[in-house]
Structures are given as C-alpha cells and as structure tokens.
Amino acid sequence: MQTQKPAAPRGPKPNPNTRDNLIRAGMRMFHEAGYTASGIKDIVDEAGLPKGSFYNHFESKEAFGEQVIDFYFEKGLPELRALLGDGNVPPLKRLQTYFEERMQGYEAAGYAGGCMLGNLSLEVADQSTAMRSRLAEHFETWSGLLETCIVQAQRTGAMKNQLPASLLARFLLNSWEGALVRMKAEKSNRPLKEFVQAVFGSILV
C-alpha cells in the first residue's frame, strides 16, 4: 500500500460544506444568468459566504466552472440511468417517457434556464478548453445511455430505423439540445412537442 504524504496545511482548512454551497450557488447562477454574467463576488454572495472562501476551494473561476459542470450532470445521472435502464419498460417507451418528463420540467420552469450543458457549450466552449472538455465528455455519456435503449429497440424490431445506434443516439441528443435553443427563443413548448412528434411518430419507428 502506498503511503500518502499529507498535504502541508496552508491557511484555514477548507470546509467541505462551503465548497458544496459554492458549487450549488454557482450552478444556480450559471444556469439562470450564464457564466460570464456571474462574477465570483455574485457567487459568494449567493452562497452567503465571504469572498476569500472561494479561493480556499478553487484556484480559478474556470476550475470552479469545470466542477459546476460535473456537479450539474452527475446530480441528474442516477435518475437518468434508472429511467433509461429500466428493463421493465420497452426501450422505445423509456426513451419517449424520458423526453416527455424533461418537457414537463421545462414547462414547469416557464421555459427559462434550459439545459446548462447546452447553454455553456455555446457560451464558453470557445473560451475554455477545460470546460469544453467536461461538456463534451458529459454529452458523450448521455448519448451512450440513449444508445443502449436504441440498440435494444432495434433488436426487438420496435424501431425500424437502422442507422447505427451510436449515430442515432447522438443525433437525438443534439436535436433535443436544438429544440431547447428554439424553446428559449420562442418561450414555448412547441419545439419540444414537435421533437417528440417527429422522433417517436416518424423518425425512429
């Protein structure tokens, strides 16, 4: 077993609750107002913490942004896995239920916010390779979960479309992200409803 040298203490010991509170505050702000519009001062204020606490936990706003992105995706991941991996429900039905439930969530939110991964992809991808990589990786994981359903639906014959499942999964997720772009521009659920209608009424079946 490898012996790990404890890190030399420098300044006050970071409080893990503080770190968590900052990440949750940052997530709310990035989601509502965007990355650029949310200054570190705004984030610590939102978390009710002194400004110094930020740099006890994060070396830069960009490093913080990476962790906010990871936190946002990972908090939804167990539910996503459970829903899309539920063997008691036919695979195509699982996919449709997933998108319809997300639509209901966006309706309840008045079409504000949208998907933080999509928002940040357009806002910060050109400025930060580090954040961009986190976004690309999470999109890949997400597509992979859709792909599992598509493979099963193609095998059972429920899905007629025989394009490669991995391509179809990425196309589906990207189309959904695009429906969210139009949802925010229109402030209506029409793009999401039409996504469901096109995908489950024609494209996949």
By CB under 8 A, name the binding residues for a second copy.
32-34, 36-37, 112-114, 117-119, 121-123, 125-127, 132, 135-136, 139, 161, 163, 167-168, 170-171, 173-182, 184-187, 190-191, 194-195, 197-198, 201-203
Instruction: Give 47 or 135: the residue with its C-beta nearer to a second copy.
Output: 135
CB 68 within 8 A of CB 28: no
Single out the residue of 196, 38, 37, 35 nearest to residue 107, CA to CA: 196
3-state secondary structure of 36: coil
Tokens representing 61 are 């706003």
Say which residues have a Cβ less than 8 Å from residue 67's Cβ, sequence separation at least 6: 23, 58
Instruction: Give 56 or 67: the residue with its C-beta nearer to a second copy.
Output: 67
Nearest approach, Cβ of residue 179 and a second copy (Å): 5
Nearest approach, Cβ of residue 197 and a second copy (Å): 7
Instruction: Give 40 or 125: the residue with its C-beta nearer to a second copy.
Output: 125
Positive or negative, the CA dihedral 190, 78, 92, 174 is positive
Instruction: Give 71 or 171: the residue with its C-beta nearer to a second copy.
Output: 171
CB 150 within 8 A of CB 159: yes
Nearest approach, Cβ of residue 24 and a second copy (Å): 20
Nearest approach, Cβ of residue 26 and a second copy (Å): 16
Nearest approach, Cβ of residue 107 and a second copy (Å): 15
Instruction: Give 85 or 122: the residue with its C-beta nearer to a second copy.
Output: 122
CB 118 within 8 A of CB 149: no
Nearest approach, Cβ of residue 189 and a second copy (Å): 13
**Backbone φ and ψ of 9, nearest 5°:** -65, 130
- H helices, E strands: number in the chain: 9, 0
Instruction: Give 3 or 129: the residue with its C-beta nearer to a second copy.
Output: 129
Single out the residue of 144, 146, 157 nearest to residue 205, CA to CA: 157
